[in-house]
Amino acid sequence: MVKRLYPLLAGGGILLAVVTVVTAQVGGDASLNPVSMTISQYAARDEGGAIETAMAVLGLASLALLAGMRALGAPVDGWPARLIGLWSVSLIGAAVVPSGTAWQGDVHGVLSAVAFVSVPAAAIQLVGRLGQDERWKAAARPLEWLALASGLGLAVITYVALPGHGVMIGLVERLLLTAEVAVLGVLAVRLAQLAWGPWLRERAAGRRAGFLVHR
């Protein structure tokens, strides 16, 4: 039962975080521009606290995803587990330390940068491992494309933040975050399939057998 709980916590948390962030920005202050403002800048000026809450929820959901993958014997030990854990802790830390004062902004910026780098690095590590595991092989190909998209996103946001003088940095950051959350989503979906699939098939087979007996 515990193994089947992990994908619910992971998938539900990821979905809740995404919906919360999108809702907060769509229904937020019209003077805030998500194209030119980073998520941290947007959250600092949006007094609702929804984005910080979503970051914390996403971090906790990612920890549930990692625990679930370990419980089902996914080849995640070593650097992939460390990197996913680092992503999770960095997100939770960034949610706790908002970018308000100067020192808070510095800490928040470092935590956000660590988080953004961690998921693509973990995805790159996992592609080969999942491809060699029959149970997780189905997630390897989409993960490979998302790892590539995340890597390109990191390169673009680095350029935009430095020589690009922050032009459309908010848009680039949100696209990068979308790719990284999609990485987690692919893993969460496969985790759910492995955790719930056998149980659902067993229940379906039992119902069919009962139906045939009572005919």
Q: Per residue in 30-76, pLDDT tens?
A: 777 888 888 877 777 766 688 889 999 999 999 999 999 999 999 99
Six token digits for residue 175: 């696209």
pTM: 0.90
Name which residue leads in pLDDT, 194 or 206: 194
pLDDT of residue 64: 97
Taking the C-alpha atoms of residue 38 and residue 186, their distance in angstroms, rounded to an integer, is: 25
pLDDT of residue 47: 66
Residues 98 and 104 sit within 8 Å (Cβ to Cβ): yes
Give whole-number Cα distances, 211 to 3, 192, 203, 207, in Å.
Answer: 29, 27, 12, 6
**Quick check: 141 pLDDT over 70?**
yes
Taking the C-alpha atoms of residue 49 and residue 37, their distance in angstroms, rounded to an integer, is: 16
Using CB atoms within 10 A of its CB, is residue 198 exposed (0-12), middle (13-18) or buried (19+)?
Answer: exposed
Indicate the pLDDT class of residue 15, thresholds 50, 70 and 90.
very high
